[in-house]
Structure 1
Amino acid sequence: MTISKNEYKKMADKASPGTTYGKNMFFAFVVGGGICALGQALANLYVRYGLELKDARAWVSISLIALSALLTALKIYDNLAKHAGAGTLVPITGFANSIVAPAMEFKSEGYVIGMGGKMFVIAGPVLVYGIAASILYGLIIWFFHLY
């Protein structure tokens, strides 16, 4: 049976679910904003209990990374991401999720080969590029005495 391009396109369009942009944007905004609001609430809480603002911001980062890793390990973060989409990609929580998720997926292969080896499958290229770029930019600044 031979199918023309037009017939295939009609079949694919019929089988493909429609995209609800408004709903997706709403949930991304609410969840992403909620993560940011949680970070601000944590910062306020840490300052209230005696930390300097600079230290409180560091503890907010640590808290959000730990919470994101824990929720990923419990498979809650992935379920949240199904509904929130891009809203869960707030950089610090999304990056923590991208490291923990592959590690949890390959946990059955062992701690060293499975979890340790697969932990940076997604995040590895980002880390390599970021580190290499920062070294290159640092050398350029040092060489031209721009700072």
Structure 2
Amino acid sequence: MATKEEQQAYAEKIKSIQPKPPYVLNCIKAFLVGGIICTIGQAIQMFYMTYFNFTQETAGNPTVATLILIAALLTGLGVYDKIGQFAGAGSVVPVTGFANAVTSAALEHKSEGLVLGVATNLFKLAGAVIVFGAVSAYIFGMIRYIFQHLT
């Protein structure tokens, strides 16, 4: 086993020859792809408002459902993974990134069968997000309630 000094010397040697990641280029790609995804979402919302006479408030739910469907389909076809490899964090726009994560978890276990593989693993990530979302909403709601009644 290597000593601590040897490990530090090795880490310094590797650090000196390791290529630097293109941070600026990665940020630009993430910004552009995230912006494109959001622009597509806005176009879908405008479509629902124009052709189905939804208001801005009522067009939100079908817009989110459509974005989830599109992201899940693209994940199933292997396209969303390529977008994610190119854009990095830009592809993790909350709705589409969440749909990608849920669909990916289900697809990884499809060899185990429809019920025990896909259905069981489909909501592994979703369950955690829902639980933590509900708990944090309760906590922040209680904090807001306390502050409103203290003033």
Bin of the TM-score, shorter chain as denominator length = 0.7 to 0.9
CA distance in structure 1 between the aligned counterparts of 2:125 and 2:19, rounded to whole angstroms: 27
Cα distance, 1:29–1:141 mapped onto 2, change above 3 Å: closer
CA distance in structure 2 between the aligned counterparts of 1:139 and 1:72, rounded to whole angstroms: 38
- Residue identity in the other structure for 2:68: I
- Residue identity in the other structure for 1:103: A
Q: Where in structure 2 are the equivalents of 1:1-147 lying within 5 Å? A: 4=6, 5-11=8-14, 13-14=16-17, 16-53=18-55, 54-136=57-139
Cα distance, 1:8–1:134 mapped onto 2, change above 3 Å: closer
Q: Percent identity?
A: 38
- Consecutive unaligned residues in structure 2, runs of 5 or more: none
- Residue identity in the other structure for 1:122: L
Cα distance, 1:12–1:143 mapped onto 2, change above 3 Å: closer
CA positional deviation for 1:57 = 2.1
Instruction: Number of aligned residue pairs: give it.
Output: 145
Scaled by the length of structure 1, what TM-score is found? 0.83
- Out of 134-143 and 25-34, give the one that drifted further: 134-143
Cα distance, 1:71–1:141 mapped onto 2, change above 3 Å: same
CA RMSD of aligned residues (A): 2.6
- Out of 134-143 and 32-41, give the one that drifted further: 134-143
Scaled by the length of structure 2, what TM-score is found? 0.81
CA distance in structure 2 between the aligned counterparts of 1:8 and 1:49, rounded to whole angstroms: 60
CA distance in structure 1 between the aligned counterparts of 2:138 and 2:88, rounded to whole angstroms: 33
